[in-house]
Amino acid sequence: MSAILSDDSQETGDLKTYNFVQKIPVQSYLIAVAAGSIKGKRVGPRCIVWTEPEILDAAAYEFAETEEHLKAAEKVLGE
């Protein structure tokens, strides 16, 4: 889920400020910011690993069992 770009973004000289609105509360550990050259690869039905293109396959291999980990956690904590 992503925040929505709000209408009150501002531009002052060379500086541009973007403001976003997130109406649905989320835990801070669910927030990520990424910048640069990144690519994603699906490692499960609801999981995608994002990284630099040069190490994408290695990262996907490392996170290949993420879906199983999520299922185990859901058995303890609920969906």
Q: How many CB atoms lie within 10 A of CB 24?
A: 6
Q: Which residue has the higher pLDDT, 41 or 20?
A: 41
CA distance 23 to 2: 10
Question: Domain of 21?
Answer: 4-77
The domain tally of the chain equals 1
The pLDDT of residue 20: 87
CA distance 10 to 20: 12
How many percent of the chain have pLDDT more than 70?
A: 95
The answer, yes or no, to whether residue 8 has pLDDT greater than 90, is no
